[in-house]
Chain A
């Protein structure tokens, strides 16, 4: 009987122990999947907000700035060395944007033209912390009526991602340890139930590795099955919640989650599942199979 045959026999002999190991590993890896998706989503949302203008200075409605005025403001901002992007939106461009956004509403289109829309300057900073300084420069420019400032949203998102990562790290660490222990205990029980057979193998001259191998492979199988199930469940969960999330996220281009990302999650889950199985199996065989 080859090693796979031996492992299969072992798995078949203790189906409920195996099921317990698979279920625990699945739960752990499902939580990991959820946190991974949450982190990925949060980072994408943050990127969206970071890429968007973080400060918009609106000028008096219907009045455009001259090229010299625009160049002067840009020069002041660039002098700080903290400017990332700069864009001047004229009243005509503002009108075009307005028309594009409200093309399905003829009434709104009739009411508004460029004479009542303000020109604006949209900027983003290299670092979020530099926004205050750039905002101050814009506020004091002649003709500026209002300044929209998105620092709070981005900061909140950054804090949220940081919290998700910290909480995720703690929960994942706890559950991973629990899974390793469950695999360890289950393989330990399997070793105990095969004590006589192991003793005979030793008497026949089997190497330590020959005896350990089926147990470690069983651990890997438990882990990878758990990984695959966790991935499948998280994918189903994602597909189920996509309509609600899409509605909630509106313009943020997050969904559908790219296939390469889900494939990477699957790869990661399988590897982590196998690692849980190997670690549990190795500790169990080391602990319970003393030479």
Chain B
């Protein structure tokens, strides 16, 4: 379970990125965070992975207060709360296989087990024939699938994605979110930050709307309806 209790984040330049945000996400939920640029979506994602610390309030993951966590526990947290990035953050001198396997290597998994798990994951993201390709040989949608595969290969409890469709065409973007839904159906909690409200509207999931660092509304599963522009 993820809990935000009156969390605020102010950066050294004075920008208030998040203002008294409170919400709770249960295990296995699929939640979209939507809002315009600067709404605080990325700040929430970064707080969840302890890339930044809240100025005020409490962030709890499985009952553990991230502020009180030891620095040495951060890598473990980041393996449990895996992330997909808008810019994919892939290593361009390594193959698809090597990029994804990196996530298992840092967990200290044996080579044989890595091979077994890799075969499963490459198949689940539809890249089983592209394991030996280098990132420059792939399309944007495929690159994002590599990023997703790398995030889920270690079976994290939570998968978060920050603008995962930002660099993709509409078809690839829809395919990516469908993949997230499939991952969610296996029991993984999925949090997606996006400004693409239209795309979110096609999935009937919980939606938290942010504006200028504040939570404006929290729509339960199936209750979000995109307002049509007049």
Residues of A within 8 A of B (CB): 1-2, 197, 200-208, 210, 291
Contacts and interface: CB of A to CB of B under 8 A. Distances in A.
Nearest to A9: B93
B120 interface: no
Interface of B: 49, 51, 71-72, 74-79, 82-83, 85, 89-91, 98, 101-103, 105-107, 111, 150
Interface of A is mostly: helix
B91 A204 contact: no
Nearest to B101: A1
B78 A205 contact: yes
B71 A204 contact: no
16 contacts: A1-B98, A200-B90, A203-B51, A203-B89, A204-B79, A204-B106, A204-B150, A205-B74, A205-B75, A205-B78, A205-B103, A205-B107, A206-B75, A207-B106, A208-B72, A291-B74
Contact of B111 (A2, A201, A206): A2
A203 B78 contact: yes
Contacts of A208: 72, 75
A202 B76 CA distance: 11
Given A203-B83, A203-B89, A1 B105 contact: yes
Contacts of B98: 1
Contacts of A1: 98, 101, 105
A208 B73 CA distance: 11
A47 to B, nearest CB: 54
Contact of A197 (B77, B83, B85, B91): B91
B78 A200 contact: no
A210 B85 CA distance: 22
A201 B78 contact: no
Given A203-B78, A204-B103, A210-B106, A291 B71 contact: yes
B71 A205 contact: no
B106 A205 contact: yes
| Top 5 A-B residue pairs of the complex, sorted by shortest distance between their CB atoms | A205-B78, A205-B79, A206-B106, A205-B75, A207-B75
A177 B202 CA distance: 65
Contacts of A205: 74-79, 82, 103, 106-107
B111 A204 contact: no
A110 to B, nearest CB: 85
Contacts of A206: 75, 106
Contact of A200 (B49, B75, B91): B91
A40 to B, nearest CB: 46
A200 B105 contact: no
Given A205-B76, A205-B79, A200 B106 contact: no
A289 to B, nearest CB: 13
B96 to A, nearest CB: 14
A7 to B, nearest CB: 13
Nearest to B77: A205
A94 to B, nearest CB: 79
A212 to B, nearest CB: 13
Contacts of A204: 78-79, 82, 102-103, 106, 150
A2 B104 CA distance: 11
Q: Which of B75, B79, B82, B85 has the most CB of A within 10 A?
A: B75
B89 to A, nearest CB: 5
A60 B104 CA distance: 92
B102 A201 contact: yes
A201 B94 CA distance: 13
B28 to A, nearest CB: 21
Contacts of A201: 102, 106
A279 to B, nearest CB: 23
A169 to B, nearest CB: 40
Contacts of B75: 202, 205-208
A50 B155 CA distance: 74
Nearest to A211: B106
